[in-house]
Amino acid sequence: MDNFQIIVGGAAGEGSKKAGLVIAKLFNSYGFRIFIHEDYHSLVRGGHNFSQISVSPKDKVEAKKENIDFLLALNEDTIVKHKDKLREESVLLYDSSITITELLQKDGIKTVAVPIDEILSESEGTSLMKNTALISTFAKIMGMEWENIKAVFEKEFNKETEKNIRVAEVAFNKTEKINEMAESGNEPAPLVSGNKAVALGAIKAGLEVCISYPMTPATGVFSFLTSTEGIRTCQPENEISVVSMALGSAYSGKRTIVSTSGGGFALMTESISFSAQSETPLLIVLSQRMGPGTGVPTYQAQGDLLFALNSGHGDFERLVVAPGDADEAYYWGGKALNMAWRYQMPSILIIDKELSENTYGLEGQYQIEKEDIVEGHDDKNYKRYDGDDISPVVFPGGKSTVKATGYEHTKDGISTEIPMEVKEMVEKRIRKGERLREELEVLETVKVYKEGPTAVVFWGSTKGAIIEAAKDMNVRLIQPMVLQPFPEKRMREALEGSERVICVELNSTGQLTQVMKMHGINVDEKILKYDARPFTVEGLHRELQEKISN
């Protein structure tokens, strides 16, 4: 089996997410490449949650497919909702207490009734360990060895570990092996969410402080850093306090990150302008979800691009970057923090629910380290806004008087309304933006994956589905990762010779299309999806085929 899809589902509170992660780590222990798509309602209990695990023995995988090979059902609702995704020779594993006679009408589907109540009784497990029994049964069916299963369980279950292992062992011994475990030839890869990847990259770039108010789907950045030794974290009462504290932290010399979603970001926009005017570094991780308003809070969209590009008031440069997978999130998590500090400006790393919360194999293709800032002389003659473009920095606590102001100012940091002095500082910030653009020219701000007469342009987490959907198509795939300053020269080079341009986005208005048109780059066709769900490989393949054939 070259590439297969597994869904494990149940009600919120039944442990389907944990089950999905453990299954992924079991396959990962054999060197298989993994991607987990998480789907859940905004409920603490009830509803329907599921994890869809994409598994490949060789190639990197970063997107889900429509049909599945294995369905692991913790309750009847999971079977009802996903039975149409089963195909001939798919396997259904379910709690034997569920009656499935009328739920499945397809021929060729194999069913495995797991005697969960019997397993829990024999092992003296609790009802919360249903997922453990199901996981172990599935692992045995797939041909995994008990020692591998036990090793993963020991790492993943830090509560009632021994009891979970007893449940797993009883389930394993009651199950017949169906498949032989194939050799992948790969070493296991670290499995991380996009949120964790961003945080890890920022740590490599010298991150010291994270200040956030929890907001789905960005909360994972904050929760991971809260549990990371050496990082100070704080949860204030609201997002205005968050960004204000972050500016104070950065002013004092601590590399600081903020994570939020659209509703929280809306409250931070005034401080983005303050960051630009006062030249205080600010990095905001903006994880998009379906909106407007509260929207569909646990689901997917790419609707905040124009908001990020135009947030704040007045003329100023900012960095806006949009990684497409965990490796890129790791790189830009560090690079955007470094650039915010070197150029003393606001940076926005824009991701989305899919990238934030899904799990990827981190391949480690990028190296990140802390980059230096332009330091000033700590003496009584220090001027906070001196220099031709980038201001030399001294932090409070030494001999210098270190000023920070949201008013227009002189090089000394004194407020001014004199026309020539205002003009001088505006032009200084313009030159700083030009320095940023020069640095970006030597970085990979636009990626090209394939060649063909039709160019397909995309951004963010749609990357995985597009690359797989277009694998056998004669198209050129183009991914801009820096969206401000927009890499117009690189984009035109990537598009050179294209007969048609198709832009693929998860919003209803074609926001990247609008950005490209602002820079004089025409888009011929759009593929837009705005039902709060990501693209599937097959769905995107059909839409691309239709556009290309017309």
* Residue 147 maps to a domain: yes
Q: Which residues pair with 352 in a beta bridge?
A: 288
CA 79 to chain centre: 29
* Residue 205 maps to a domain: yes
Is the confidence at residue 101, as pLDDT, over 70? no
If asked whether residues 304 and 210 sit together in one domain, one would say yes
Determine the structural domain holding residue 516 and report its residue range: 446-549
251-261: per-residue pLDDT in tens? 999 999 999 99
Residue 427: pLDDT band (50, 70, 90) is: very high
CATH code at 490?
3.40.50.920
Is the confidence at residue 58, as pLDDT, over 90? no
Structure confidence at residue 158 (pLDDT): 83
Contact 421, 415 (CB under 8 A): no
If asked whether residues 352 and 419 sit together in one domain, one would say no
Structure confidence at residue 170 (pLDDT): 97
CATH code at 245?
3.40.50.970
Is the confidence at residue 544, as pLDDT, over 80? yes
Is the confidence at residue 169, as pLDDT, over 90? yes
Tokens describing residue 178 = 């169906």
**Where does 442-484 have alpha helices with state H?**
463-469
> Residue 253's CB: how many other CB atoms inside 10 A?
17
Q: Where does a domain end: 423, 443, 463?
A: 443
**Domain total of the chain:** 4
Share of the chain above pLDDT 70, in %: 99
Matching residue, tokens 């569909």: 296
Q: What's the burial of 85, exposed, middle or buried (CB within 10 Å: 0-12/13-18/19+)?
A: middle
* Residue 108 maps to a domain: yes
Arithmetic mean of pLDDT, 336-358: 98
Long-range residue pairs from 75-84, CB within 8 A, at least 24 positions apart, any chain: 75/9, 75/10, 75/11, 75/14, 76/100, 76/103, 77/9, 77/10, 77/11, 77/48, 78/7, 78/9, 78/10, 78/16, 78/48, 78/50, 79/103, 79/104, 81/9, 81/48, 81/50, 82/7, 82/9, 82/50
If asked whether residues 259 and 397 sit together in one domain, one would say no
Structure confidence at residue 179 (pLDDT): 85
Structure confidence at residue 105 (pLDDT): 64
Structure confidence at residue 100 (pLDDT): 78
Lowest mean pLDDT segment, chosen from 125-134, 317-326, 475-484: 125-134
Tokens describing residue 473 = 């198509």
* Residue 343 maps to a domain: yes
If asked whether residues 267 and 342 sit together in one domain, one would say yes
**Where does 279-346 have alpha helices with state H?**
305-310, 326-343
If asked whether residues 118 and 21 sit together in one domain, one would say yes
Contact 337, 283 (CB under 8 A): yes
Is the confidence at residue 103, as pLDDT, over 80? no
Contact 42, 219 (CB under 8 A): no
In the DSSP assignment, the letter for residue 84 is: G
Residue 188: pLDDT band (50, 70, 90) is: very high
Structure confidence at residue 146 (pLDDT): 96
Structure confidence at residue 270 (pLDDT): 96
If asked whether residues 160 and 36 sit together in one domain, one would say yes
Is the confidence at residue 364, as pLDDT, over 90? no
Q: Where does a domain end: 141, 173, 205?
A: 173
Q: Where does a domain end: 361, 387, 421?
A: 361
Which of 8, 4, 26, 25 lies closest to 146, judged by CA?
26
Is the confidence at residue 185, as pLDDT, over 90? no
Arithmetic mean of pLDDT, 222-247: 98
Share of the chain above pLDDT 90, in %: 90
Cα(314)–Cα(293) distance, integer angstroms: 25
Structure confidence at residue 136 (pLDDT): 97
* Residue 179 maps to a domain: no
Give the HSE-up count for residue 135: Cα atoms under 13 Å, Cβ half-sphere: 35
If asked whether residues 19 and 142 sit together in one domain, one would say yes
* Residue 536 maps to a domain: yes
Contact 218, 258 (CB under 8 A): no
DSSP string, 116-179: HHHHHHHHT--GGGHHHHHHHHHHHHTT--HHHHHHHHHHH--SSHHHHHHHHHHHHHT----S
If asked whether residues 453 and 429 sit together in one domain, one would say no
If asked whether residues 247 and 277 sit together in one domain, one would say yes
Arithmetic mean of pLDDT, 449-457: 96
If asked whether residues 406 and 526 sit together in one domain, one would say no
* Residue 332 maps to a domain: yes
If asked whether residues 56 and 129 sit together in one domain, one would say yes
Residue 486: pLDDT band (50, 70, 90) is: very high
If asked whether residues 236 and 207 sit together in one domain, one would say yes
Is the confidence at residue 1, as pLDDT, over 80? no
Lowest mean pLDDT segment, chosen from 182-186, 291-295, 359-363: 182-186
Residue 91: pLDDT band (50, 70, 90) is: very high
* Residue 398 maps to a domain: yes
487-543: per-residue pLDDT in tens? 999 999 999 999 999 999 999 999 999 999 999 999 999 999 999 999 999 999 999
CATH code at 22?
3.40.920.10
3-class secondary structure per residue, 33-68: EEEEEEECCCCCCEEEEEEEEEEECCCCCCCCCCCE
